[in-house]
């Protein structure tokens, strides 16, 4: 809609290695040697761990090889620099696929659907999976498949296995828990490691677990927040991608906090998801570098 | 969805008069005399103009008469206190009707539709009117009528007359210009005075008129914003209801500013519209009191 | 400096009682009967506890009696309405006295001294007490007494007793712990209840206790904050008056977080202190109403 | 105070040139060749003008030459890349000198003095110059010379000449107009180009010129702001370094806006000044790149 011309195809290199002299020269020298036109470059050194991080964006048409070719050649550079195994070359020409898990609360889903429909978030929502079916109609109105997978108290293992298979069919770049109220089992956390993104409705580490707005109301805080983070086996303790807050006061009931908080949840999730899909987020221990 | 029990029916009294001793006693005495249970009360005195404002919310079931009865009796109080003619008694039992005007950009419409569908904004969207038809499908998917009224360069007068009639059919509490890109003629500004709400994509009074994000980019500002205001015959100069901003930096292109700004536009519009529909906004000259 | 004319003298009534019909009429009727000119009035009802709160500001020259006279007469209203014992009539003509406790970190003290010197915060700083003497010179340069009370590991009880006496001499309206790093003993918490104001360098309830910025850095949060709260015997768990946050990112070391956080600490403390001294803060259980 | 060990000495290279392939490789190759250890590196390309910008921070002890030596050798790289004439090598071992101009309002000065005294802003305030003498005592209490230069209506030219000479004696890295209420003549704008930093008490380009808070109050805005910018001959129109805002509402008088705005002015100025002194701000036309 907004964008009238397709963005140029680009390769995105992300990379972490022990810090030392000459890393930038090595990487940029390699790219320059092949004519690579760098359009974005960001660096970070963590003085505590002595680890170096970078994200480089190169115009695809400036290099004489495709993404696989770049990957093969860059492997040598990565090896020379003792990069950790998470280094990547991704290709913006490969369309991003997303699967969204929901429950009853629709605000994050409505928001993501609207962003995709208006062309702002240029991804394919491959499927939406709900443990309730209340969001089926709106999903299908956007032309997107909706799968209803009930989660009976005595059948959660089977339900998660069903979800796992549905997700696996699409091999998505991101599995978004858009206020999905079920706690993922450890094996799914592993299978989706680095791809499962949750939005928690509090400013973590405050108010972990259930009913954070109730906890916030009881404590009498003056701001409520939301946290977008990678899912790990530790509940609400994974690496944080993005957080934001909104002001509340004594006049706000729990319901008012819930309502105000939703606006923060949806924009925080949308920002975190965008950054993840643009390969801007590098995980380092339990922290993130967001380029 | 969220709310499981209907909120109690309430009467909302809004009121402005010259400040003097005893106003609160007069109003609250009147209400107490009839058993009125006040659940919200807000006051403001403007020292510059010596004007007093109040908004009182009373439980309907605590009074022995209906809204018309309250209105008739309160008229005496208003007259005694020399209230200006804009005083009101509104009834939360009367469902709010909204008509939305759009063009091509969908982010504000998607957002409002999502809020209504999820039960967060408890209003009837009576109709959506667009000078383009690109938002017709999503509107109808929500079960809401969409009217396409083209605005040819040589037929704007007729087009506005058509819009005027469509709006008049619904006698709405609010006419929302949700990124409707046409400038309202003066007679429509008058007809919809106090009900037409616009979202302007800048932090007014900066960047009035066309292409505010381009203006913002050229000036090199470090924050972009949005302004929700009542429409008057002066372009982008009506009373401001709400404003907000978001941080940008040198790395943000005009397109990035547009994208970031949208998140601010939609929440600013939604807040302003909610406050208007809850009779929280009193206009005083070119300024607003927001209780 | 800024203010060229003294503000008018005013009486501030604060008040909490069980909610019922007619409270506002009773209070405003009482004031109107004596000619009281209300310049500010705020109300709040807590639906969870059924408790009603108000703050009323009345021009002193509009009433035919002084603060003691108002207090005596208002006592009857308070009794009629079953007000809790914390109701107050305060007189803005009585100059506010503040005692500040500090350690080595000077940013909050410098900020408060600057606000007082520039006339923005119109109070008397009766004394500054430090467990180190590094802030003695700047305090005395402002013409304010500085007391150095060392806190040896084996003499804290005596040190606190010394501080208690120094504070008691001034009977201050507020005892400000401006990054005072000692934990108050329970008996001082009781003696200063409702007057001791702390600034904690995190967005509570996150990161209670020591080195909150280190905790924040380890957790990888994207915002750091500060909390101004009343001191109670539970560490960092007293009623919150005000909070604010500032954005940080992966590039910020612990030292950067400390530096950025200071700007939030000092403004959050200054706001909370001002509201306390203007009798805007009513405590209700472990929460505050801030009018 | 806070910082127990001195930061390592570093060289900071800032640089702008036409964008093309191989710039990063050229710069980082040059540094790597001499053993340069890059501790911070930032890049930006402006797609509108095709201009490339970078800031590189190198450990001084990793290079076999001093700042002059680096400057001499880097000149070749700069010439090869057709850098514009503003490229710089600065040395963090050279202590930053600042001269501050003030009038009567003290909040920005108090704030800067406090930051320097507490070790947070590690600079020398060489002198404070005031067209009134009301801030002389506090300045001298910090051990800093204060020069009182009156600005009579018929003697402004001479007064500015006096100020020019006083500033020239110190050849400062920054001349800070900390709410200095006189408009600089064009020749001083030229002489101090790129070093004179102003804090304007509005969110520019709104409310240029005198009494911006009055203008903001009249317009009924819901946020007030501050803008830190380089001074140019066009009033309040120079390149913006930093901006921030704070929420106000209908209850805020002009005086309240002034008070709330001060907190934004002082932190916005302090951030802008810090970035300038750390050579983080590159000017590009009338916009800034802030690394």
pLDDT digits (tens, 9 = 90+) for D140-195: 999 999 999 999 999 999 999 999 999 999 999 999 999 998 999 999 999 999 99
C-alpha D245, offset from chain centre: 19
Q: Per residue in D198-251, pLDDT tens? A: 999 999 999 998 999 999 999 999 999 999 999 999 989 999 999 999 999 999
Residue D1 banded pLDDT, cuts 50, 70, 90: very low
Chain D residues inside the 8 Å CB shell of A41: 24, 41, 43
Averaged confidence pLDDT in chain C? 95
Q: Given this chain, do its domains B10-91 and B97-290 carry the same CATH topology?
A: no
Residue B2 banded pLDDT, cuts 50, 70, 90: very low
Q: Per residue in A33-56, pLDDT tens? A: 999 999 999 999 998 899 999 999
- Say if residues A259 and B119 touch (Cβ distance below 8 Å): no
pLDDT exceeds 80 at position B7: no
* C223-230 average pLDDT score: 98
Chain C residues inside the 8 Å CB shell of A14: none
- C76-80, C192-196, C232-236: which has the minimum mean pLDDT? C232-236
Q: Kindly list the partner chains of chain A, i.e. chains with 3 or more CB atom pairs below 8 Å.
A: B, C, D
D110: nearest CB among C106, C118, C134: C118
pLDDT exceeds 90 at position B36: yes
Closest approach of chain D CAs to the CA of A155, in angstroms?
A: 50
Chain D residues inside the 8 Å CB shell of C138: 117, 141-142
Question: Cβ atoms within 10 A of the Cβ of A81, count?
Answer: 18
Chain A residues inside the 8 Å CB shell of B134: 1
Interface probe with A: pick from C200, C223, C255, most Cβ of A within 10 Å: C223
Asked if D104 lies within 8 A of C262 by C-beta distance, the reply is: no
Q: Per residue in B209-256, pLDDT tens? A: 899 999 999 999 999 999 999 999 998 999 999 999 999 999 999 999
Give CA–CA dist A273/A271, Å, rounded.
Answer: 5
Q: Per residue in D126-144, pLDDT tens? A: 999 999 999 999 999 999 9
Phi-psi region of C94 (alpha: psi -120 to 50; beta: other; left: phi over 0): beta
Query: Which is the catalytic residue, given B236, B249, B252, B256?
Result: B236
Question: Residues of B118-151 as b/e, b for ≥16 C-beta within 10 angstroms?
Answer: bebbebebbbbbbbeeebbebbebbebebbebeb
B114: nearest CB among A104, A111, A259: A111
Give CA–CA dist D290/B189, Å, rounded.
Answer: 43
Residue B273: strand, helix, or coil: helix
- Say if residues C4 and C75 touch (Cβ distance below 8 Å): no
Question: Cβ atoms within 10 A of the Cβ of B7, count?
Answer: 10
Task: Please tell me if residue A214 touches chain C, with a CB cutoff of 8 Å.
Answer: no
Residue A3 banded pLDDT, cuts 50, 70, 90: very low
Asked if C24 lies within 8 A of B21 by C-beta distance, the reply is: no
What pLDDT was estimated at residue C260? 97
Residue B4 banded pLDDT, cuts 50, 70, 90: very low
* C129-156 average pLDDT score: 96
- Say if residues A182 and A198 touch (Cβ distance below 8 Å): no
pLDDT exceeds 50 at position C69: yes
With pLDDT > 70 as the criterion, what percentage of chain C qualifies? 98
- Say if residues C198 and C217 touch (Cβ distance below 8 Å): no
What pLDDT was estimated at residue D194? 96
Residue with tokens 């950025």: C260
Q: Per residue in A59-69, pLDDT tens? A: 999 999 999 99
pLDDT exceeds 50 at position D197: yes
Residue A100, CA distances (Å) to A199, B27, B263, B288, D160 in order: 12, 53, 21, 41, 65
pLDDT exceeds 60 at position C270: yes
User: Is the domain covering A10-91 a CATH 3.40.190.10 domain?
Assistant: no
Task: Please tell me if residue A246 touches chain D, with a CB cutoff of 8 Å.
Answer: no
What pLDDT was estimated at residue C194? 96
* B2-29 average pLDDT score: 85
Task: Please tell me if residue B81 touches chain C, with a CB cutoff of 8 Å.
Answer: no
Q: How far apart are the first and last CA of chain A?
A: 27
Averaged confidence pLDDT in chain A? 95
Task: Please tell me if residue A50 touches chain D, with a CB cutoff of 8 Å.
Answer: no
Query: Which is the catalytic residue, given C66, C137, C236, C256?
Result: C236
- Say if residues D35 and D63 touch (Cβ distance below 8 Å): yes
Phi-psi region of D252 (alpha: psi -120 to 50; beta: other; left: phi over 0): beta
Asked if B29 lies within 8 A of C25 by C-beta distance, the reply is: yes
Interface probe with A: pick from D7, D21, D23, most Cβ of A within 10 Å: D21
Task: Please tell me if residue A207 touches chain C, with a CB cutoff of 8 Å.
Answer: yes
* B76-100 average pLDDT score: 96
- Say if residues D172 and D99 touch (Cβ distance below 8 Å): yes
Chain D residues inside the 8 Å CB shell of B288: 220, 250
Closest approach of chain A CAs to the CA of B148, in angstroms?
A: 18
Task: Please tell me if residue C141 touches chain B, with a CB cutoff of 8 Å.
Answer: no
C114: nearest CB among D106, D120, D259: D106
Asked if A2 lies within 8 A of B258 by C-beta distance, the reply is: yes
C-alpha C59, offset from chain centre: 24
Chain B residues inside the 8 Å CB shell of D219: 204-205, 240, 286-287
Which pairs count as long-range contacts for A276-280, CB under 8 Å and 24+ apart, including other chains?
Answer: A276/A173, A276/A174, A276/A197, A276/A241, A277/A96, A277/A98, A277/A123, A277/A173, A277/A174, A278/A12, A279/A12, A279/A14, A279/A55, A279/A88, A279/A90, A280/A55
Task: Please tell me if residue C14 touches chain A, with a CB cutoff of 8 Å.
Answer: no
**Beta carbons within 8 Å of B39's beta carbon, 6+ residues apart:** B10, B57, B58, B59, C45
pLDDT exceeds 90 at position B181: no
Q: Which residue of B has its CA nearest to C33?
A: B22
Averaged confidence pLDDT in chain D? 95
Q: Give me D13's structure tokens.
A: 């290279």
- Say if residues C87 and C78 touch (Cβ distance below 8 Å): yes
pLDDT exceeds 50 at position B274: yes
- Say if residues C11 and C58 touch (Cβ distance below 8 Å): yes
**DSSP states of chain C as a string?**
----SPPPPEEEEEEEEE--TTHHHHHHHHHHHTT--EEEEEEEEETTTTEEEEEEEEEGGGSSS-HHHHHHHHHHHHHHTT--TT-EEEETTS--EEEEEE-S--HHHHHHHHHHHTTSS--EEEEEEESSSTTHHHHHHTT--EEE----TT-HHHHHHHHHHHHHHH--SEEEESS--SPPPHHHHHHTTTTEEEEESSSTTTT-SS-HHHHHHHHT-SEEEEEEEE--SSTT-SPEEEEEEEE--TT--HHHHHHHHHHHHHHHHHHHHHHHHTT-EEEETTEEEE-
Chain C residues inside the 8 Å CB shell of A204: 206, 219, 221
Give CA–CA dist C18/C15, Å, rounded.
Answer: 11
Give CA–CA dist D204/A191, Å, rounded.
Answer: 50
* C9-35 average pLDDT score: 95
Element (H, E) at D27: helix D23-33
What pLDDT was estimated at residue D6? 56
**Beta carbons within 8 Å of C72's beta carbon, 6+ residues apart:** none
What pLDDT was estimated at residue C127? 98
Averaged confidence pLDDT in chain B? 95
Asked if A120 lies within 8 A of B262 by C-beta distance, the reply is: yes
Query: What ipTM describes this predicted complex?
Result: 0.94
What pLDDT was estimated at residue C4? 42
Q: Give me A149's structure tokens.
A: 């997978």
What pLDDT was estimated at residue C181? 87
Task: Please tell me if residue A62 touches chain C, with a CB cutoff of 8 Å.
Answer: no
* Size of chain A in residues: 291
Residue C3 banded pLDDT, cuts 50, 70, 90: very low
pLDDT exceeds 80 at position A7: no
* B97-122 average pLDDT score: 96
Asked if D21 lies within 8 A of A37 by C-beta distance, the reply is: yes
What pLDDT was estimated at residue D181? 87
Task: Please tell me if residue C118 touches chain D, with a CB cutoff of 8 Å.
Answer: yes
What pLDDT was estimated at residue D4? 42
A32: nearest CB among D21, D43, D62: D21
Smallest CA-to-CA distance from A28 within A20, A17, A39, A44 is with: A39
Query: Which is the catalytic residue, given D61, D80, D236, D244?
Result: D236
Q: What residue segments make up the domains of chain B, in order of their start?
A: 10-91, 97-290
Query: Which is the catalytic residue, given A61, A111, A187, A236?
Result: A236
pLDDT exceeds 70 at position B31: yes
How open is the CA angle B286-D256-A223, to the nearest 5 degrees?
Answer: 95
What pLDDT was estimated at residue C6? 56
Domain C97-290, CATH homologous superfamily name and number: Formyl transferase, N-terminal domain (3.40.50.170)
* Size of chain D in residues: 291
Q: How far apart are the first and last CA of chain B?
A: 26
Q: Who wins on pLDDT, B140 or C1? A: B140
With pLDDT > 90 as the criterion, what percentage of chain C qualifies? 95
Smallest CA-to-CA distance from B207 within B176, B178, B243 is with: B243
Closest approach of chain B CAs to the CA of A125, in angstroms?
A: 17
Residue D5 banded pLDDT, cuts 50, 70, 90: low
- Say if residues D200 and D229 touch (Cβ distance below 8 Å): yes
Whether residue C236 lies in the annotated active site: yes
Closest approach of chain A CAs to the CA of C261, in angstroms?
A: 16
């Amino acid at each position: 809609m907004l964008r009238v011309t397709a963005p140029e195809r680009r390769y995105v290199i992300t990379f972490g290695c022990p810090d030392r002299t000459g890393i930038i020269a090595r990487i940029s020298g390699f790219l320059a040697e092949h004519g690579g036109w760098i359009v974005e470059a960001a660096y970070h050194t963590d003085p505590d761990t002595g680890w170096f991080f970078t994200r480089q964006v190169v115009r695809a048409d400036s290099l004489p090889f495709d993404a696989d070719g770049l990957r093969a050649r860059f492997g040598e550079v990565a090896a020379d620099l003792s990069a950790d195994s998470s280094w990547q070359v991704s290709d913006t020409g490969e369309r991003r696929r997303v699967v969204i898990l929901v429950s009853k609360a629709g605000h994050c889903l409505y928001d993501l659907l609207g962003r995709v429909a208006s062309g702002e978030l240029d991804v394919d929502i491959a499927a939406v999976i709900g443990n309730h079916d209340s969001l089926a109609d709106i999903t299908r109105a956007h032309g997107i498949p909706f799968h209803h997978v009930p989660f009976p108290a005595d059948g959660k293992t089977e339900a998660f296995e069903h979800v796992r298979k549905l997700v696996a069919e699409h091999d998505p770049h991101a599995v978004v828990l858009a206020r999905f109220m079920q706690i993922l089992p450890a094996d799914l956390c592993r299978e989706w490691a680095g791809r499962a993104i949750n939005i928690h409705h509090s400013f973590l580490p405050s108010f972990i677990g259930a009913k954070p707005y109730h906890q916030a109301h009881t404590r009498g805080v003056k701001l409520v927040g939301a946290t977008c983070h990678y899912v790990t086996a530790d509940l609400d303790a994974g690496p944080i991608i993005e957080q934001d807050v909104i002001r509340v006061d004594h006049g706000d009931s729990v319901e008012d906090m819930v309502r105000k908080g939703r606006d923060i949840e949806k924009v925080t999730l949308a920002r975190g998801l965008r950054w993840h899909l643009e390969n801007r987020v590098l995980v380092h221990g339990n922290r993130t570098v967001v380029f």
